[in-house]
Amino acid sequence: MSIVVTGATGHLGRHVVRHLLEKVPADQVTAVVRDRDKAVDLAARGVRIAVADYNSPETFDGLFASGDRVLLISGNEFDKGRVGQHTVVIDAAKKAGVALLAYTSAPSSLKAALADDHRATEEVLIGSGVPYVLLRNGWYHENYTEQLAPVLEHGAVVQAAGEGRISSASRADYAAAAVAVLTGEGHENTAYELGGDEAWSFAEYAAELSRQTGKEIVYKPVSLEEYTGILTGAGLPGPLAGVLAGVDAAIAEGELIVSTGDLSRLAGRPTTPLAQAVAAALKG
Provide the 10 A C-beta neighbour count for residue 199: 19
pLDDT at 94 over 80: yes
The mean pLDDT value for 218-240 works out to 93
The mean pLDDT value for 189-203 works out to 98
**pTM (two decimals):** 0.96
Handedness of CA 16, 22, 24, 25 (dihedral sign): positive
* 255-272 confidence digits (pLDDT tens): 999 999 999 999 999 999
* Concatenated DSSP letters of 171-192: HHHHHHHHHHHHHSSS-TTEEE
% of the chain surpassing 70 pLDDT: 99
* 8-58 confidence digits (pLDDT tens): 999 999 999 999 999 999 999 999 999 999 999 999 999 999 999 999 999
Handedness of CA 154, 168, 183, 6 (dihedral sign): negative
Residues 135 and 194 sit within 8 Å (Cβ to Cβ): yes
pLDDT at 233 over 80: yes
Decide: helix, strand or coil at residue 157.
strand
Decide: helix, strand or coil at residue 79.
coil
The mean pLDDT value for 136-141 works out to 97
Residue 239 confidence (pLDDT): 86
Enumerate the H helices of the chain as residue ranges.
11-20, 40-44, 82-96, 116-128, 142-145, 148-154, 171-183, 202-213, 224-233, 238-252, 262-267, 274-283
| Pairwise CA distance, residues 113 & 93, whole Å | 27
The mean pLDDT value for 62-91 works out to 92
Listed range (68-82, 122-136, 269-283) with the worst mean pLDDT: 68-82
| Pairwise CA distance, residues 258 & 20, whole Å | 25
Residue 284 confidence (pLDDT): 77
pLDDT at 79 over 90: no
pLDDT at 124 over 80: yes
Residue 40 confidence (pLDDT): 97
| Pairwise CA distance, residues 148 & 260, whole Å | 29
* 35-46 confidence digits (pLDDT tens): 999 999 999 999
